[in-house]
Structure 1
Amino acid sequence: MHYGAHRDQYVQFYEPERITARGAVMIIHGGYWREKYTASLGVPLAQDLAARGIPAYNLEYRRGPGSAAKMLADARLALGLVKEEGPITLIGHSAGAQLACVLAAHDQRVSQVISQAGVLDLETAQRLKLSDSAVEEMLGGAPLGACNPVELWPMPARVVIFHGRDDGDVPPRIARIAAQKAAALGQEHSFSLFDGDHYTWIDPHSSQWAACVRALSPLHY
């Protein structure tokens, strides 16, 4: 389903053969906001959710230098295509978790964000120059605060912070800092560290993905 004229303004809908869950889940892929990383990263997760009876949407959005405002605009339009009644959970991997949190802060339809190795503290990520200064590239001069999840808390949606101890792409300290700020700001959240690296979260056969699925139960089942 396209929600705009640009080639990257589309969302893939995976409809279960038999719906057994309430609401829907939207997958938001990562890739440090760069165009070479696409929604194909989220397909296995969306397929797995649909097989479990959960309506799943896999988001593609405009990325690249200076894309901060475009990404949020795209995510808001795509969220408008979700037709199911009930709670909506956003599952964002890496940079996708940043977008998921910003979207949740702007749209009260979102009940929960599950952050898989998320870049939730842009200030720290910028200071560490992660992925060759990807944060500065994405911002393109836009104000950091408007795009920084930890500066948009508290928000109504619950945030589930998952991270791998062996993550070499987004250091676990990002997750720890985000969890500390969530607690200080009164943001409803949970925080768990797992064995594994940055990519185990998007393997539908991993125990890390199984933890993400379990996190859906209180809302969707």
Structure 2
Amino acid sequence: MLIIHGGYWRTKYDASLGELLAADLAARGIHAYNLEYRRGAGSAKHMLHDARAALAHVTQAGPITVIGHSAGGHLGCLLAAAEPRVSQVISQAGLLDLELAQELGLSDDAVQLMLGDTPLSEVNPVGQWPFKARVVIFHGKDDEDVPPVMAQSATRAALSSGQEHHTQYFEGDHYTWIDPATTQWQACVEQLAPWHFGGK
């Protein structure tokens, strides 16, 4: 398992956001890696390199699932497109359509800040589909940070491209996904069976 935190690619948000999720997975007997990656202005040209370097440290055999929250869902999809070792991406309120995010000006135009001089088309998750990994698109109905229209747009893109996917909406806001006590997190854990713990 790889966990990739969100935070709209800003440096003030770090891998501490994923610590509780990694601990929960470890308690379930799953090898969990909590990734850090370069963020901030122009970070689009660095973040995939960092994620691929992290993946190279995963030596266990078997399927690999990436769980990405918000901007982490974005990077998780880029990693899956580049690395066929990734079996599944679980996007928790993920920024999967950068064109839409830019159009909406989400988080004070965070997309443009992250891109720098990198063309949007090179790092837009929906533009990488279809790839081998399955994509689970989870989103909260009350999410004001990444509105549900993001999941709706991503689902349309998955259908039109033939990307294997599963979409589901839940009650809750943007942050319920990273609390291991919530039903939203339990839904993520259920997507790991039977690959990671035999359907238990």
- Bin the TM-score by the shorter chain: over 0.9
> How far apart, CA to CA, are the structure 2 residues paired with 1:130 and 1:189?
24
> How far apart, CA to CA, are the structure 2 residues paired with 1:121 and 1:216?
24
Q: How does 1:83-102 map to 2 (within 5 A)?
A: 83-102=59-78
Matched position secondary structure for 1:187: coil
Residue 169 of structure 1: how far off its partner (Å): 0.1
> How far apart, CA to CA, are the structure 2 residues paired with 1:157 and 1:68?
22
Matched position secondary structure for 1:76: helix
Q: How does 1:11-160 map to 2 (within 5 A)?
A: 25-160=1-136
User: Do residues 201 (structure 1) and 191 (structure 2) align?
Assistant: no
TM-score by length of structure 1 reads: 0.88
**1:123-173 alpha-carbon deviations (Å, 9 max, x no partner):** 000000000000000000211011100000000000000000000000000
Residue 83 of structure 1: how far off its partner (Å): 1.2
User: Do residues 212 (structure 1) and 183 (structure 2) align?
Assistant: no
Match for residue 167 of structure 2 among 167, 182, 191: 191
In the alignment, which residue of structure 2 is the partner of 1:18? none
TM-score by length of structure 2 reads: 0.98
In the alignment, structure 1 segments of 5+ residues that lack a partner are 1-24
Residue 218 of structure 1: how far off its partner (Å): 3.0
> How far apart, CA to CA, are the structure 1 residues paired with 2:124 and 2:40?
17
Matched position secondary structure for 2:66: strand
Partner amino acid for 1:40?
A: S
Partner amino acid for 1:91?
A: I
Superposed structure 1 runs of 4+ greater than 3 Å apart: none
Give % identity: 65
Partner amino acid for 2:58?
A: V
RMSD after superposition: 0.5
Partner amino acid for 1:78?
A: A
Matched position secondary structure for 1:219: coil
Residue 59 of structure 1: how far off its partner (Å): 0.3
> How far apart, CA to CA, are the structure 2 residues paired with 1:181 and 1:59?
27
> How far apart, CA to CA, are the structure 2 residues paired with 1:168 and 1:70?
28
In the alignment, structure 2 segments of 5+ residues that lack a partner are none
Partner amino acid for 2:85?
A: R
Residue 69 of structure 1: how far off its partner (Å): 1.6
Aligned pairs, how many? 197
> How far apart, CA to CA, are the structure 1 residues paired with 2:123 and 2:41?
14
